[in-house]
Amino acid sequence: EAQLVESGGGLVQPGGSLRLSCAASGFTFSSYAMSWFRQAPGKGLEWVSVIGGSGLPTFYADSVKGRFTISRDNFKNTLYLQMNTLRVEDTAVYYCAKYKQGGTIREGFDYWGQGALVTVSS
Amino acid sequence: DIQMTQSPSSVSASVGDRVTITCRASQGISSYLAWYQQKSGRAPKLLIYAASSLQSGVPSRFSGSGSGTDFTLTISSLQPEDFATYYCQQTDIFPLTFGGGTKVEIK
């Protein structure tokens, strides 16, 4: 069965940087596009970014475009989210998730990590 | 961006009740809609994809319907483990967007 485990969350000051990792196992990682989502405390779910199985294409939410970079290492079966110029409003639990069907978003996301808390505060 | 509007935002129900949650898209999304269940402090869980297809392992008391702009999630007989927050998500185009969530609480 697929498993996703996030790491790298923590406390960072506004304007700072952080890199999240998502270690994948139990499926052929390179065959699946992957995505990041986030959830601010007490709020709903927000899509952040997506990356194709080969590393392209990539898409971003307007709220993070130009500040966040999604990437993957298919040899290490790991997904990344580099977050720069962090803002207080980026405070959230960040989830990585796997497409249910390899290269299309149409069937949703069937496996999610446990989440990594990112707190942006001075 | 496609706006997803869920209603109600919360519902109080008893074990055994039938619960219906609706989701409306601001433009047509064919059948590209997913439903997720999220329990407090946990990751979302996929229940329904393509508007009406039941995810493997999900109990048959959950069902989805609709196409175009109007969609419904129905729990036919609410069980204790179903008390959670439910989200719809359009899976048609980027940016992917969610409804605001429906919290199902114990009456």
Q: Which residue of B has its CA nearest to A112?
A: B43
Using the Cα atoms of residue B78, residue B81, residue B84 and residue B87 in order, give the sign of their dihedral.
negative
Best B4, B39, B46 residue to mutate vs chain A (most A CBs within 10 Å):
B46
Q: Report chain B residues whose CB lies below 8 A from the CB of A115.
A: 43
Residue A102 scores a pLDDT above 80: no
- The span from the CA of B37 to the CA of B48, in Å, is 10
- The span from the CA of B68 to the CA of B87, in Å, is 18
Contact indicator for A71, A20 with CB cutoff of 8 Å: no
Contact indicator for A103, A52 with CB cutoff of 8 Å: yes
Looking at this protein, which amino acid is placed at residue A86?
A: L
pLDDT tens digits, one per residue of B24-61: 999 999 999 999 999 999 999 999 999 999 999 999 99
Q: pLDDT category, A120, cuts 50, 70, 90?
A: very high
Nearest to B91 among A59, A95, A107 (CB): A107
Contact indicator for A53, A32 with CB cutoff of 8 Å: yes
pLDDT tens digits, one per residue of B58-79: 999 999 999 999 999 999 999 9
Q: A105 vs B43: CB contact, 8 Å cut-off?
A: no
Q: Phi, psi (5° rounding) for residue A90?
A: -85, -5
Best A95, A109, A117 residue to mutate vs chain B (most B CBs within 10 Å):
A109
Give me the residues paired with residue B96 across strands.
Answer: none
Residue B97: DSSP 8-state: E
